[in-house]
Structure 1
Amino acid sequence: MASLRITIALASSYFVFAIMLNSVGTVILQAINSLDVSKTDASVLEGFKDLSIAIMSFLVASFIPRIGYKIAMLCALLLVSALCLLVPSIAEFWVLKALFAAIGCSFAVVKISVYSIIGQLSDNANKHSSLLNTIEGVFMLGVLSGYWIFALFIDANNPQSNEWLNVYYMLAAIVLVTTFTVLTAPIKSPELHNQKQSQVDAFLDMLKLTYQPLVLIFVVSAFLYVLIEQGVGTWLPTFNNQVLKLPVDVSIQLASLFAAALALGRLVAGQVLRFISWFKMLLTCLITMGLLILLVLPLTHDVDGSQVKNIFDVPFAAYMLPLVGFFMAPIYPLLNSVMLSSLEKHKHAAMTGLIVVFSALGGTTGSIITGFVFDKFSGQHAFYLTLLPIVLLLVSVSAFKKATLVLENGLTRQAIKE
C-alpha cells in the first residue's frame, strides 16, 4: 500500500509537469494573439523552459539528497502553484517568462527526485524499467490532456482576449492537489553515502561519473534517443502541413497522435517488461522504428491533403508516421532504468542530473539538425536522416549491454570473494 501511494504521488507530479512543459507552443501562440508579442520575442519561452531545466539539473542534482526528495518535490510544486496564481492577475509577457523558468527549474528537481525514488521501490532492472515506463507513460497522458485543458479556456471567436490566462487558476488547483499527494506519501529520506562530504565534493563526484565506461556509453545512447524523438516530434506538425499539405489545425491535431503513441507505448512496455528482457525490447523497438520509417516515407510523396477538413479524412501515410512513437516510447525509460539499476542508490540523484542535462542537449541538437535539413532539402530527407542515429543507437545499445554484463560479472566475482 505504501508503494502504491508513493507511485501515485510520483505519477501525479509527472502528469502535472507534462501539462505545464508542453503547453509552451500553445502559450507562444496565445502570447502573440493576446499580449501583442512578436514571434521572435515569444519564441524565447522555449529557451526559458529548456535552459532552466539543464542548468538547474547540473547545479542541484548532487544537493537534492541532502535536503530529501520529498521536501525538494514539495518546494518545486509550491513554487509553480504560486506563479500560476499570479499569471492571470498580472497578464504580462514577463510573468510568463518567469513561469516557464520556474517550471523548468521545478521539473529538474522533480525528475531527479522521481528517478531516485523509483530506485527505492525496485530491486532489479526489469522492475525498475516497468515502473519507470508506466510513470513516463502517465507523463505522455499529461501532454495529451494539456491540449484539451488549454483549449477549454481559449475563445476562438475572440483570440485577442486575455481570458485564456484563467487556465492557470485551474492548473494551480491541480498542482496543489498533487502537492497533497506528495505530502501524504511515505517517501523515505535518502541515506547519504558520506555525511561529511561537502557540496563541492558531491558535485565533483557527479562529474566523475562520466569517466565510467558504462556511464559514457549510456550518455551517448540517451543523447541519440532524444535527438530522434525531438527531431520527429518537433517537426511532425510542419511535415504534416508542408509535405502532406494538410490544413494547419488538422496538422497539429494529427501530431498529437505522436504523443498518444508515446504514452501507449510506455504503458504497454511497462507491462511487457515483466516477461521479456530489456535488451530484447530495445532491439525490437529500434529495428521496428527503422522499418516503419523506410516503409512509410515513400508513401508520403505526392500526397495532397489540402482538401481534408478533419483528422478522420487524412491520408493513410499521415496516420502511420505518428505510430513510430509507439515503438520509440520504451527506449528512453529503459536506458535510464538499466543505467540507474547498475549504480548504488546514493548515486541515482547525480546520475539523473546527467541524464537531464544530456537529454536537453540531445533534444536541442535534434530539433536544429532536423529543421536545417527540412529547410535545405525536404521533409522526407529530414525524416530519413533519423535512420542514422537509429543505427548508431543500435551500436551503442549493444555496447551498453556488454558493459552491463562486465559490471555484473565484476560484482559477482566480488561477492564470491567476500
Structure 2
Amino acid sequence: MNPIRITIALACSYFVFAILLNSVGTVILQAINSFDISKTQASVLEGYKDLTIAIVSFVVASFIPRVGYKLAMLVALGAVTLMCLIMPSIAQFYAFKLLFAVIGCSFAIMKISVYSVIGQVTDSANKHSALLNTIEGIFMLGVLLGYWVFSGFIDPTNAQSTSWLNVYYLLAVLVGVAFVSVLLAPIKAPQQATLQSNQWRAFIDMLRLAYKPLVIIFIISAFLYVLIEQGVGTWLPTFNNQVLKLPVDVSIQLASLFAAALAFGRLVAGQLLRVVGWYSLLLTCLIAMAALVLLILPLTHDVDGSHITSVFEVPFAAYMLPLIGFFMAPLYPLLNSVMLSSLAKHQHAPMTGLIVVFSALGGTTGSVITGFIFDKFSGQHAFYLTLIPISLLLISVTLFKKMTVNLGAVPEKGMI
C-alpha cells in the first residue's frame, strides 16, 4: 500500500469539493443577476446542498463500506464531473438546484469515505489527527481559492452575461484530476468482519441521544451558529454587490476574506484555549460579533463602490464586515468538542449524525431567512437580523455551560 498516493487522492477530492460546496454564495449572486430571479428564490440553493448532505449522510453511512470506499468516491466524483460538464449548455436556474443536490449527495459520500480511509494510512492517534487536520486545511484552501476562480470568469461589464458558466468546464477538469488520483490510489476495501453491524443501530442510538436535555441544548446552539454563519457567508457576495455597489468580481473576491477570517480565527482560538476557559472565550466571541454588526452596518449606508476596480480599493466597512468570521470561527468546533467530550465514545457516532443533520437544517434556515429579509427589506436589515440568533446563542451557551459543569466536559487544549 502506498500511503502517499492515497493521501494525494483524499486531498485532491476534498479540495475540489471545497470549491464546489462554498460556491453557493457566488452562484446565488450570479443567478440573481443572470437569470433575473428573486433573492428568496435563489436562497433555496442552500437547502438543495445542505439537506442532501444530511439525508444522504444518514442513509448511506452503513452502506458505503459494503460497496467499498474507492468505488463510492469514484461514483461521487463521476457524478459531479458530469454535472459540471453539462451546466454551461443548460444555463437555467433549475439546473443549479440539480447541481447542488448532486454536490450535496456526492460530498456526503466523499466525507464518510475520506474519514474512513484516513484510518488505512495512519497507525496512531497522533498521525490520524495530523492527517485529518491537513485534509481539513486543504479544504479551507479550496474555499479561499474558489472565490477567485469564479471571479476570474465573470464579465464585470455585463452583469447579465452567462459567460461565467464556463467556470464549470475548468471545475470538471479539476474534479477529473481528483477522479484519476482516486482511481490510481491503492485504497483497500473494508474487511468483512467490520460489516456485520446492524444498519438500524445508528438511527436508534441517535434518537435515544436526542432525548437528553444536554443534547437538546447543544443541538439548539449548533443550529443557531450555523444559521448565523450560512446567513452571513452565503449572502456576503450579494451584500457587497447590491448594498455596497461593488462590481461583481470584486464582491466575490472580497467575500473570500470571510473564509480567511474563519480559518485564522480557529488557529488563534486553538492557542487561546491553552490559557482561557472555553466558556469565557465563547462569550467574548459572541459579544464581539454583536458589537461588529452594530458598529459596521451603519457605515455601509450610502456607500457607492461602483467606480472601484480592485479589491484593494474598497471602503473600510467592506473590509470589516467579513471579519465577523474571525470571532465566529471558534464557536462551532468548540461546542462540538465540549459536547463530544461529555459523552462516552460509543455515543460519538450517533452524536455526529445529529450534528450533521441539525447543522444542515440551520444552514438552510439561515440562508432562506436572510434571503427573504434581503429581498423584502434590505441587506442591512438582513444582517442586523443576526443579532437575534446571537442573543439566543448567548442564552443557550450559558445553559450548556451549566449542564456540562458537573460532567467535567472540557475540550482538549488546542483542539478547535
Structure 1 partner of 2:394: 394
**How far is the alpha carbon of 1:103 from its aligned partner?**
2.4
Structure 2 partner of 1:170: 173
Aligned to 1:211, what secondary structure does the other structure show? coil
Structure 1 partner of 2:73: 77
**Aligned pair in 2 of structure 1 residues 375, 151: CA closer, same or farther (>3 Å)?**
closer
Contact 1:286 1:390 in 2 (8 A): yes
Whole-angstrom distance in 2 between the partners of 1:380 and 1:346? 45
Contact 1:258 1:322 in 2 (8 A): yes
**Aligned pair in 2 of structure 1 residues 220, 97: CA closer, same or farther (>3 Å)?**
closer
**How far is the alpha carbon of 1:216 from its aligned partner?**
1.0
Whole-angstrom distance in 2 between the partners of 1:118 and 1:166? 30
Gaps of 5+ in 2: 410-416
Moved more, 164-173 or 7-16: 7-16
Matches within 5 A, 1:113-132: none
Whole-angstrom distance in 2 between the partners of 1:207 and 1:283? 30
Whole-angstrom distance in 2 between the partners of 1:406 and 1:299? 44
Whole-angstrom distance in 2 between the partners of 1:45 and 1:116? 29
Whole-angstrom distance in 2 between the partners of 1:400 and 1:31? 40
**Aligned pair in 2 of structure 1 residues 312, 362: CA closer, same or farther (>3 Å)?**
same
Whole-angstrom distance in 2 between the partners of 1:122 and 1:222? 30
RMSD: 4.3
Deviations 1:323-369 (A, max 9, x none): 10111112112222222233333333322222121111111211222
1:261 aligns with 2:261: yes
**Aligned pair in 2 of structure 1 residues 113, 83: CA closer, same or farther (>3 Å)?**
closer
Structure 2 partner of 1:315: 315
Structure 1 residue identity aligned to 2:307: Q
1:359 aligns with 2:349: no
Contact 1:80 1:99 in 2 (8 A): no
**How far is the alpha carbon of 1:174 from its aligned partner?**
4.2
Structure 1 residue identity aligned to 2:296: V
Structure 2 partner of 1:284: 284
Whole-angstrom distance in 1 between the partners of 2:244 and 2:85? 41
**How far is the alpha carbon of 1:138 from its aligned partner?**
4.1
Moved more, 168-177 or 233-242: 168-177
Structure 1 partner of 2:65: 67
Contact 1:87 1:96 in 2 (8 A): no
Structure 2 residue identity aligned to 1:357: V
Structure 1 partner of 2:243: 243
Structure 2 partner of 1:226: 226
Whole-angstrom distance in 2 between the partners of 1:325 and 1:8? 29
Moved more, 394-403 or 339-348: 339-348
Gaps of 5+ in 1: 410-418
Structure 1 residue identity aligned to 2:73: L
Structure 1 partner of 2:343: 343
Contact 2:244 2:303 in 1 (8 A): yes
Aligned to 1:282, what secondary structure does the other structure show? helix
Contact 1:115 1:352 in 2 (8 A): no
Whole-angstrom distance in 1 between the partners of 2:253 and 2:83? 27
Contact 2:255 2:322 in 1 (8 A): yes
Structure 2 partner of 1:57: 57
Whole-angstrom distance in 2 between the partners of 1:337 and 1:189? 30
Structure 1 partner of 2:82: 86
**Aligned pair in 2 of structure 1 residues 283, 156: CA closer, same or farther (>3 Å)?**
closer
Whole-angstrom distance in 2 between the partners of 1:9 and 1:16? 11
Contact 2:45 2:97 in 1 (8 A): yes
**How far is the alpha carbon of 1:153 from its aligned partner?**
6.6
Aligned to 2:236, what secondary structure does the other structure show? helix
**How far is the alpha carbon of 1:270 from its aligned partner?**
3.7
Structure 2 residue identity aligned to 1:172: V
Contact 1:77 1:175 in 2 (8 A): no
Matches within 5 A, 1:369-380: 369-380=369-380
Deviations 1:13-66 (A, max 9, x none): 543321121234556788999xx98858998765543332121133245x26x8
**Aligned pair in 2 of structure 1 residues 200, 277: CA closer, same or farther (>3 Å)?**
same
Whole-angstrom distance in 2 between the partners of 1:122 and 1:293? 44
Whole-angstrom distance in 1 between the partners of 2:55 and 2:114? 18
**How far is the alpha carbon of 1:88 from its aligned partner?**
6.4
Structure 1 partner of 2:412: none
**How far is the alpha carbon of 1:288 from its aligned partner?**
1.4
User: TM-score, length-normalised on structure 1?
Assistant: 0.76
Structure 1 residue identity aligned to 2:253: Q
Identical-residue share of aligned pairs (%) = 64
Count of residues in Structure 1 that have an aligned counterpart in Structure 2: 396
**Aligned pair in 2 of structure 1 residues 84, 210: CA closer, same or farther (>3 Å)?**
closer
